[in-house]
Amino acid sequence: MQEDTPAEPRTDRVAVVVNTAARTGARLLPLLEAALRPVADEVTVRAVHGGTQLLDALSAAARSEPDLLVVGGGDGTIGAAAAMVAHTPTTLGVLPLGTANDFARTLEIPTQLAAAVDTLVHGRVVDVDLGRVDGRAYLNVASVGLSVAVTQRLTPGLKRRLGRFAYPAATLAAYRSHRPFAARLELDDGTVLELRDLMQVAIGNGRHYGGGLTVAPHASIDDHLLDVYAVEQGRLLDHVSVARLLRTGHLVEHERVHHVTARRLRLVTDEPLPVNLDGEIAATTPATFEVDRNALHVVVPAGSRAARMDGTPGREGASP
């Protein structure tokens, strides 16, 4: 699909799965009904409350092979649906109902419900990449190191007690107990990086993660490349200076950060370490990461700058 000939989403057969456990899931259903019924021949709506019920509903909806699968939920829900419809004719429609909504942020899908629903009908369809870790799909970022410890400490109880302060509290606790590790990055071009005293390694498929942090200044979800950065352990002031660059992605230019791009790489650590996939600990090193090119059809707003490379070759080369 070329960006100069955008395709509108097909809405002949529409399947809708909304996670009502998400903050605004229940309020969404009347808006969807009003927007989709007039333009679709068939609309099937499944409203479920998280857990295995949610996965079962997504699986049933995907098996029905709709033209458009509309999914309302957070990045975990969207990611599960994306894995199910990858490399099929079904187009994914995203309704961001979670806390971070990083996939929607990357695609510039609005978080306002009415505008997000309008995108389903009046948006355009683009093809985007998925990341894969030993075959398992992810949307945004996979990481090893500090982020895993943060995820383990970010319990529902902590969120209830501290609200928006839960993440910095979990990060501080994880930082205090972090042990540096060594890693070997084996890139698809034959390059091998031997790195020591690391705090974190992140492998980004999309552009945003962690509630709006940026993988790298030029990261894109359709450039057919993974952006990889490794942060060295250092003094507290070093980490403060790196943290200040997380929003823009310019951390990759910091002297304590190594940054490369690759289509495929193998990550080996000095001892097996858990891998965080979009907030879920779901793999262990050593692990192979690769980009699954143009794996997913997805609806974005007509004016979205996302998937600006849709149909074009990816960025070449690696940053030092």
The residues annotated with a catalytic role in the active site are: 280
Q: In whole angstroms, what is the distance from residue 5 CA to residue 2 CA?
A: 6
Peptide bond into 286 cis (omega under 30): yes
Asked if residue 130 lies in contact with residue 86, where contact means CB atoms within 8 angstroms, the answer is yes
Q: In whole angstroms, what is the distance from residue 165 CA to residue 145 CA?
A: 21
Q: In whole angstroms, what is the distance from residue 71 CA to residue 68 CA?
A: 10
To the nearest 10°, report the CA torsion of 59, 25, 103, 53: -20
Concatenate the DSSP letters of all residues of 210-264 into one string.
TTTEES-TT--TTSS-EEEEEEEP--HHHHHHHHTTTTTTGGGGSTTEEEEEESE
Determine the distance from the C-alpha atom of residue 130 to the mean position of all C-alpha atoms in its chain, rounded to a whole number. 9
Q: In whole angstroms, what is the distance from residue 211 CA to residue 219 CA?
A: 16
Q: Which residues pair with 260 in a beta bridge?
A: 228
Q: In whole angstroms, what is the distance from residue 5 CA to residue 229 CA?
A: 35
In our burial notation (b when 16+ CB lie closer than 10 A, e otherwise), range 9-45 reads bbbebbbbbbbbbbeebeebeeebeebbeeebeebee
Of the candidates 44, 35, 46, the residue with the CA atom closest to the CA atom of residue 13: 44
